[in-house]
């Protein structure tokens, strides 16, 4: 499957709440964790085996367990030693944590997912034991199913042949839940080799039940790379043929593969999914002091109101920090449209996040506010800047540094920026910078962009410009 088609389809699945993720060891290796073969190398050496010659790795772990008369101390220590805590997770985990996905599955033992979701200030309901499945945490943002256990409980991980053969008796709930979700959700497999016996059994069961009518799933897989040295071409040709046949075979289970050459392409694809999803949301940034010039304040409110109305008319979600002047007026404009609908869905149409006046304990306020802004802006595809003024210690108006920081975040994230320069303040400064760089928003000509800073610019002019930008973003390929 080509990337463009995948991005469009899976972003739509996320938006509908029907997407799930399955994380394999390949994604964790980027954090320095071992794959299964590397993990078991020392044990294989002790047994007198060459790990590179072994195809049944669960059997290698089982042989060690047999020698220890069933005691798992050595295997448990192996897990603890090879999966120490990390200071940070690879970027792919952070992107996934920002996506509004409810169900995440993994066969990994590590805690990288927990780290990334926690760093994004999201709560995970972690289920690594069978009994965990009956204990729900309704306040959690997502559920992480660690179907092979966790480094937190090293004596209970699935690693040896016994663990796989007795899986349906010891961990029946995981297969039952996974089967249900595999029928109703669209999974994206990342860093997954598809050699796990439990998954193979699941695929066979699903295919038996649905034959050719099962749901569509996706996997991002790496193509074979040509090596060096004698016989490199022959090996590459063989691996390429095997890879092509394997990709074709996965289609029997409804799994469409998106192929990449390098691991960093996974991050690029996930960012594109995030952006495609974000395009249905528009962030309105700005501020205007309550005791500012009355005439200017009325114009800023009028502009904010028509921007909010245009966002709602186009079926977009308004995202705002809900300030007193700009935020409240934009919200009023959006609600005038939303509440006219027969069955208004405020959760789908609005995301309001008023700024806290205090940072959490042990977190600097500046860092906290930046992360808070990033959290809002990363969920949007378009960022509209209106005014951006505040009162200084001498009672005079000045540029709002918070609004300027939001512009920097939006620019760094590659979002479409639309500054309404005629409202003054930070928006005017941003407009000048973009005009000097000839960085006009998509959908607007140089003249149309210039109109947004004209002294005779009207609220209606702003509304037309916003509508053109939204239409252009929707049509952008």
pTM: predicted TM-score of the whole model, two decimal places: 0.85
User: Greater confidence, 473 or 197?
Assistant: 473
**Whether residue 372 is found in the same domain as residue 431:** yes
pLDDT digits 0-9 by tens, 313-329: 999 999 998 877 899 99
Instruction: Answer whether 258's CB lies under 8 Å from 223's CB.
Output: no
Contacts of 85 (CB under 8 A, 6+ apart): 111, 115
**CATH code where residue 437 lies:** 3.40.50.450
With cut-offs at 50, 70 and 90, classify the pLDDT of residue 214.
low
**CATH code where residue 177 lies:** 3.40.50.1220
**Whether residue 26 is found in the same domain as residue 134:** yes
pLDDT digits 0-9 by tens, 103-128: 999 999 999 999 999 988 899 999 99
pLDDT digits 0-9 by tens, 400-416: 888 999 999 999 988 99
Give 103's DSSP letter. E
- The Cα–Cα gap between 112 and 23 comes to 11
Q: Provide the annotated active-site residues.
A: 148
**Whether residue 229 is found in the same domain as residue 293:** no
**Whether residue 323 is found in the same domain as residue 243:** no
As given in the structure block, the two tokens for residue 416 are 């479409």
Instruction: Answer whether 381's CB lies under 8 Å from 284's CB.
Output: no
Residue 47 domain flag: no
Q: Which of 234, 253, 276 finishes a domain?
A: 276
Q: Which of 276, 294, 316 finishes a domain?
A: 276
**Whether residue 270 is found in the same domain as residue 290:** no
Residue 132: predicted pLDDT: 92
Residue 308 domain flag: yes
With cut-offs at 50, 70 and 90, classify the pLDDT of residue 273.
very high
CB atoms within 10 A of CB 404: 18
**Whether residue 358 is found in the same domain as residue 290:** yes
Residue 307: predicted pLDDT: 96
With cut-offs at 50, 70 and 90, classify the pLDDT of residue 292.
low
pLDDT digits 0-9 by tens, 39-57: 999 999 999 999 999 888 8
**Whether residue 307 is found in the same domain as residue 433:** yes
Q: Are strands 389-391 and 397-399 parallel, antiparallel or unpaired?
A: antiparallel
Residue 179: predicted pLDDT: 85
Instruction: Answer whether 331's CB lies under 8 Å from 308's CB.
Output: yes
User: Greater confidence, 220 or 365?
Assistant: 220
- Total number of domains constituting the chain: 2
Q: Quote the domain boundaries for residue 415.
A: 279-475
Give 45's DSSP letter. H
Residue 302 domain flag: yes
């Amino acid at each position: 499957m080509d990337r463009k088609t995948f991005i469009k389809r899976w972003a739509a699945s996320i938006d509908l709440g029907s997407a799930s993720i399955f994380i394999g060891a390949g994604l964790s290796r980027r954090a320095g964790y071992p794959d299964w073969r590397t993990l078991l190398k020392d044990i294989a050496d002790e047994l007198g085996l060459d790990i590179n010659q072994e195809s049944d790795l669960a059997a290698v772990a089982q042989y060690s367990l047999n020698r220890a008369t069933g005691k798992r101390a050595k295997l448990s220590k192996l897990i603890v030693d090879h999966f120490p805590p990390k200071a940070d997770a690879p970027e792919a985990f952070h992107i996934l944590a920002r996506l509004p996905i409810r169900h995440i599955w993994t066969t990994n033992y590590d805690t990288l997912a927990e780290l990334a979701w926690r760093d994004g200030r999201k709560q995970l309901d972690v289920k690594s034991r069978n009994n965990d499945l009956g204990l729900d945490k309704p306040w959690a943002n997502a559920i992480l199913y660690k179907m092979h256990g966790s480094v937190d409980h090293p004596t209970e991980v699935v690693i040896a042949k016994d663990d796989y053969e007795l899986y349906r008796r010891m961990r029946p709930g995981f297969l039952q839940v996974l089967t249900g979700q595999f029928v109703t959700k669209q999974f994206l497999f990342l860093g997954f080799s598809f050699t796990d016996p439990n998954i193979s059994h699941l695929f066979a069961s699903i295919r038996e039940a649905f034959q050719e009518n099962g749901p569509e799933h996706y996997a991002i897989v790496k193509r074979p790379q040509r090596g060096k040295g004698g016989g490199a071409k022959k090996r590459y040709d063989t691996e390429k043929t095997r890879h092509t046949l394997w990709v074709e075979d996965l289609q029997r289970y409804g799994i469409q593969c998106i192929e990449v050459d390098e691991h960093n392409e996974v991050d690029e694809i996930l960012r594109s999914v995030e952006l495609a999803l974000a395009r249905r949301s528009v962030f309105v940034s700005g501020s205007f002091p309550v005791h500012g010039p009355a005439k200017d304040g009325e114009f800023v409110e009028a502009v904010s109101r028509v921007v909010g109305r245009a966002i709602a008319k186009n079926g977009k979600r308004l995202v705002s920090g809900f300030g007193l002047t700009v935020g409240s007026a934009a919200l009023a404009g959006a609600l005038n449209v939303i509440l006219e609908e027969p069955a208004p869905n405020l959760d789908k149409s609005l995301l309001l996040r008023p700024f806290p006046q205090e940072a959490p304990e042990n977190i600097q306020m500046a860092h906290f506010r930046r992360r808070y802004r990033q959290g809002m802006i990363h969920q949007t595809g378009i960022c509209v800047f209106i005014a951006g003024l505040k009162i200084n210690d001498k009672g005079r108006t000045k540029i709002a540094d918070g609004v300027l920081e939001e512009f920097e975040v939006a620019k760094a994230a590659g979002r479409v920026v639309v500054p309404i320069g005629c409202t003054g303040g930070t928006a005017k400064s941003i407009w000048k910078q973009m005009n000097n760089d000839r960085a006009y928003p998509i959908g607007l000509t140089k003249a149309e962009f210039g109109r947004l800073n004209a002294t005779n610019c009207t609220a209606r002019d702003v509304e037309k410009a916003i509508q053109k930008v939204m239409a252009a973003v929707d049509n952008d390929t």
